[in-house]
Structure 1
């Protein structure tokens, strides 16, 4: 039931992102064209890229929900991580394109943006911040790397919109008071937006790739799990403990030591009890237990 609830919530959040970004991209694109604002057009392109990112998250979440099969005995949880990497790459490409457009603007005559561009940017900032908070909260709650990455995608749009707001405002003021060079604050804002986007893409992509490569949870994050294992009657020592993050869930490989004098059946029963208790933890998907005979060890 909890897994179905997770899927429904994360899928709904992805749809919120898709619909919201389509609306924002259209509004900012039209207003940016009418108001002749390079910064707002760049911001509209950023929102359009968010649509593709949210679609990637939706596809990743759907794939991750599929149960284990013969070819994927550990499940499909890493599909969300792959979706997160796709979003990060997309962010990087969009940032680079926006930067190129902004640089070209410095070598062309530009006009002062219209005042209506300010209203579109403020609306975008409010909507994007709300979307970020909503998705980030759900991503943390349901351990969805793809959703968290997509949430930061929205936050990057907030940053870009703030930069666009400053650039557009400075450009309008420059045109009003007769300071020609201030008109270029608009493309400068677009360039600043691009740098923010590329930096965020690098950070998010690095984290997602790290988690995709069978990242093992650190000792401080597995204290509760180790205490649960040690509490099982018959477990004399934890010889090895590996908890691999597999997308939104964890797969545990452990070696425990038991009394060498007990029967194979008794040792097997201890292993089953360890597995049963660990599977009671919400995000633990599977546990592989190996039984070793206990012996005194030199320190």
Structure 2
């Protein structure tokens, strides 16, 4: 595993400070220039500040070594953080929807070019943050940073939608085009739908990891190919792989010739393990159980999960 705690934490701190500054920018400009979309987006950014704090805490916890109570380490802290960020995003989306619908029935307020400019600056700032954070998430194999990058992506959509709505309202007020004042609240509704979609995708992925679901079939086939690349392995009886925080844990049952000695079997499993760890840096552990193979023996498939006899 190539996760580098201190460098990844620096990325998280950059996100936290940026979210604080953007929250102040949006709230101040939104309140001064009476922009529903900008105020709602500023409140959403306030949720991002809480999410960033949670990210930093989970990353510090996930770096703690394994102990007696947590023999597999603390990697799932980052999945809990991802789920927490998703909940914040869902709450923000519901709040944005409520505020936008309320604004549709409220008297129209004049829109300033400064509010429009603030939305554009926010979109650009978040785009730079997204690229920076996403690159760090890939480099350090950090799920918390990946969730934070997705949060930045949602903010980009939100800021662009807010800018479009503000732009329509601002131009409409100058040219006296009817109904253009609805551009601001309608943009808020679009923003909420985009944020809600991203949040649901994130929380489903985090829940799958917390529920010990297997990695996808394509990835599992790649792990099988590594094991079967050794000619001594005649068959794979069972192969299970699951995500544990930023790492992947693999356990397998393989068949090798029954004439092999214990030492030969141990050397083979160590060779398989080394090759797997080298090929896939995110794999943290490979546990292999050996079953004997005989050329004239009819093999019976073992069950990966025991079941009760059907009556």
Partners of 2:261 and 2:87 in 1: how far apart?
A: 54
1:288 equivalent to 2:260? Answer no
Choose from 50, 56, 69 the match for 1:52: 50
Secondary structure in structure 1 of the residue aligned to 2:179: helix
Shift of 1:245: 1.4
Of the structure 1 ranges 52-61 and 257-266, higher mean CA displacement relative to structure 2 is found in 257-266
2:239–2:251 contact (8 Å) kept in structure 1: yes
CA distance in 2, matches of 1:181, 1:158: 26
Normalization by structure 2: what TM-score? 0.88
Q: CA deviation at 1:135?
A: 1.4
Task: Flag structure 1 segments of 5+ consecutive residues without an equivalent.
Answer: none
Range moving further from structure 2, 286-295 or 265-274 = 265-274
Aligned to 1:29: 27
Q: Which moved more, 1:70-79 or 1:263-272?
A: 263-272
Relative to structure 1, the CA distance from residue 233 to residue 160 in structure 2 (aligned partners, 3 Å threshold; closer, same or farther) is: same
Please say if 1:275 is aligned against 2:299: no
Q: CA 1:19–1:255 in structure 2 vs 1: closer, same or farther (change >3 Å)?
A: same
- Give the match for residue 187 of structure 1: 185
Are residues 1:263 and 2:261 paired?
yes
Q: Any idea what the Cα deviations from partners look like across 1:45-95, whole Å, max 9, x if unmatched?
A: 122221112222212211211112222222221111111111111000011
Q: 1:121, CA displacement in angstroms?
A: 1.0
Contact 2:2-2:141 within 8 A present in 1 as well? no
| Equivalent residues in 2 for 1:29-178, closer than 5 Å | 29-178=27-176
Query: Would you say 1:13 and 2:29 are equivalent positions?
Result: no
In the other structure, the counterpart of 2:305 is: none
Structure 2: distance between partners of 1:152 and 1:247: 17
Equivalents in 2 of 1:266, 1:172: separation in Å? 77
Q: Structure 1 pair 297/138, CA: closer, same or farther in 2 (3 Å)?
A: farther
Secondary structure of residue in 2 paired with 1:67: coil
Per the alignment, residue 252 of structure 2 pairs with 254
Tell me if structure 1 keeps the 8 A contact 2:2–2:140.
Answer: no
Alignment root-mean-square deviation, CA? 2.1
Per-residue CA distance 1:76-135 (angstroms, 9 max, x = gap): 211111111111110000110111111112232231122211111111111001111111
Over 3 Å counting, the alpha-carbon distance change for 1:44 and 1:291 in structure 2 is same
| More deviation, 208-217/228-237 | 228-237
Displacement of 1:2 in angstroms is: 4.2
Q: Could you tell which deviates more after superposition, 24-33 or 215-224?
A: 215-224
In structure 2, what is the Cα distance between the partners aligned to 1:188 and 1:218? 38
TM-score by length of 1: 0.91
- Give the unaligned 5+ runs of structure 2: 301-311
CA distance in 1, matches of 2:122, 2:149: 15
Report the number of matched residues: 297
Deviation at 1:271, TM superposition (A): 2.7
C-alpha offsets along residues 147-172 of structure 1, whole Å, 9 cap, x if unaligned? 22211111111111111111111212
- The SS at the match of 1:72 is coil
Partners in 2 of 1:237 and 1:190 — Cα distance?
56
In the alignment, the residues of structure 2 paired with residue 188 and residue 13 of structure 1 have an alpha-carbon distance, to the nearest angstrom, of 34
Which sits farther off after the overlay, 179-188 or 62-71?
A: 179-188
